[in-house]
Structure 1
Amino acid sequence: MTTAVTIPKSGGSGGSTAVAASGRQVTKAYGAGETRVVALDAVDVDIAGGRFTAIMGPSGSGKSTLMHCLAGLDTVTSGQIWVGGTEITKLKDKKLTQLRRDHIGFIFQAFNLLPTLNAAENITLPMDIAGRKPDREWLDKVIGTVGLADRLKHRPNQLSGGQQQRVAVARALAARPDIIFGDEPTGNLDSRAGAEVLGFLRKSVDELGQTIVMVTHDPVAASYADRVLYLADGRIVDEMTSPTADTVLERMLNLSGGTPQAPAFDARGRTS
């Protein structure tokens, strides 16, 4: 699904890598006339394959809208979006639904687990619905990566919040999608559980070659990424590679003109 194209590297030097998703002149507006609100304003973006990208910005900056449009969960007013080599902005609903099912994974702030199913059944549920048999070797690797081997028979109410989100991460990984989108995936977790889940996401990129795009407001969460994109007023206004919690916090402070809340735990999950 991914295609080899050129993405400018940090510092302006050229390089070639696989692009998992991209957008050109992506505009999303709501309303018309005097009530028209522009959520995304002619955004150009490339998401590198096999990398972890965080999207940050103040409330109302368009970060969640951008993720939803890239993932095919929302339509654009104008512009083009590709997932791998497919332009999704031209797809009919049925084809778009099929592409999301076969090539895109999702992790949300709410775990969205079915309470009557155990962890193993929740993990394979999307594939069961699609009538696809999981790749057992890959599934075992995913379960091992997120540390759930001894929790597979447990139902959600028998799991902690962090364990439930690990089930959600495994569910997103299980179908081996080209790209996974996460919308504040640690937003409902305490700092320790959040650090665990972020560590598993990082591990899935480093060891499983996964591509992850995560919307977050948390500088510590963003520090797990390879690259951070900053949005303001519907535009990408800055980016950072090799982020740390401190550098992300400083950049957010400069962009917002305010004082973001200090992180609750550092990049290794230690409370501050």
Structure 2
Amino acid sequence: MTAAMPSSPPDAPDAPTPTAAAGAIDASKIYGTGDAQVKALDDVTVAFEAGKFTAIMGPSGSGKSTLLHCLAGLDTLTSGATYIGDKYLAKLSDKELTELRRTDVGFVFQAFNLIPTLTAEENIKLPMMLGGETGDVAWIDQVVTAVKLQGRLKHRPSELSGGQQQRVAVARALASRPKIIFADEPTGNLDSETGAEILDFMRRAVREFGQTIVMVTHDPSAASYADRVVFVGDGKIVGELINPTADQVIDQMKQHGS
């Protein structure tokens, strides 16, 4: 944690109101100094409801990935606060933050981020193995079946297609039943059919399993799978849609110059 980052906004309570799974309060992130200074986030306040699938959209350089990374505790703010559940991230020690990310947060990245020497099954169980736990076997079996990986568990990533590797990554994110999953362009490296299957499963995870997912995407079709789309522009929240269609997302992006 950087010393410059406040533990919470000056007028904030000791803990966030636990109605949202995660969120940001007066969040700003500045990179560089002087003429080279870039304000990636500009006083953003936003909350992400538990049990919902939210997409974050915006043009390149809008701050959408910075917002996701700060929400997930992968990056720190210059000012303001981010929280997961009832915990302000800046109030946690490095050890506590690492533990929170392992137990309460799932991650899905565009690049899959699998361990090449581990089998699909070992990659799925990795977050729990790191904590010396076995996890809920029945739940893990349900997740594996839902992402159609039953016959591929003993295969290493190099023996799997890109779509299968992303299925492993999604299953890994769900396996420990985290409070929230952050997904950064999870279908960016996949063909449209495979991407649609991944997104359909993520939507099912929210509706059938009560999961909470926050996803950054540039794809209006991907965003249409979400319950809500939050639009970011020049480091600010510039709009949102509830129960969006792809066409509505495109129209909104045009309005904001995306």
The TM-score with structure 1 as length reference comes to: 0.86
Tell me the residue number matched to 1:265. none
Tell me the residue number matched to 1:268. none
Task: Extract structure 1 runs of 4+ deviating beyond 6 A.
Answer: none
Q: Does the aligned pair in 2 maintain the 1:20–1:47 contact within 8 Å?
A: yes
1:168 counterpart letter in structure 2? A
Q: CA RMSD in A?
A: 1.5
Higher RCO, Cα 8 Å, sep 6+:
2
> How far apart, CA to CA, are the structure 2 residues paired with 1:61 and 1:92?
29
> How far apart, CA to CA, are the structure 1 residues paired with 2:94 and 2:117?
30
> How far apart, CA to CA, are the structure 1 residues paired with 2:114 and 2:38?
34
Tell me the residue number matched to 2:46. 45
2:88 counterpart letter in structure 1? E
> How far apart, CA to CA, are the structure 1 residues paired with 2:204 and 2:149?
14
> How far apart, CA to CA, are the structure 2 residues paired with 1:54 and 1:107?
13
Tell me the residue number matched to 2:132. 131
Residue 254 (str. 1) matches residue 252 (str. 2): no
Describe the SS at the equivalent of 2:107: strand
Q: Deviations over 1:190-210 (max 9, x none)?
A: 111111111111111111110
Q: Does the aligned pair in 1 maintain the 2:16–2:87 contact within 8 Å?
A: no
1:84 shift after superposition: 0.2
> How far apart, CA to CA, are the structure 1 residues paired with 2:228 and 2:16?
20
Q: Does the aligned pair in 1 maintain the 2:21–2:49 contact within 8 Å?
A: yes
2:110 counterpart letter in structure 1? Q
Describe the SS at the equivalent of 1:240: strand
Q: Does the aligned pair in 2 maintain the 1:110–1:188 contact within 8 Å?
A: yes
Q: Does the aligned pair in 2 maintain the 1:145–1:203 contact within 8 Å?
A: no
Structure 2 unaligned regions, length at least 5: 1-14
Tell me the residue number matched to 2:99. 98
Describe the SS at the equivalent of 1:74: coil
Identity %, equivalent residues = 61
> How far apart, CA to CA, are the structure 2 residues paired with 1:158 and 1:3?
44
Tell me the residue number matched to 1:160. 161
1:150 counterpart letter in structure 2? G
Describe the SS at the equivalent of 1:139: helix
Between 1:48-57 and 1:133-142, the stretch displaced more is: 133-142
Taking the TM superposition and a 5 Å limit, the aligned residue runs for 1:51-70 are 51-70=52-71
The TM-score with structure 2 as length reference comes to: 0.91
Q: Does the aligned pair in 1 maintain the 2:16–2:83 contact within 8 Å?
A: no
Tell me the residue number matched to 1:270. none
Between 1:26-35 and 1:41-50, the stretch displaced more is: 26-35
Structure 1 unaligned regions, length at least 5: 6-17, 258-272
Describe the SS at the equivalent of 1:206: helix
Describe the SS at the equivalent of 1:24: strand
Structure 1 residues 87, 200: closer, same or farther in 2, change over 3 A?
A: same
Tell me the residue number matched to 1:32. 33
1:108 shift after superposition: 0.2
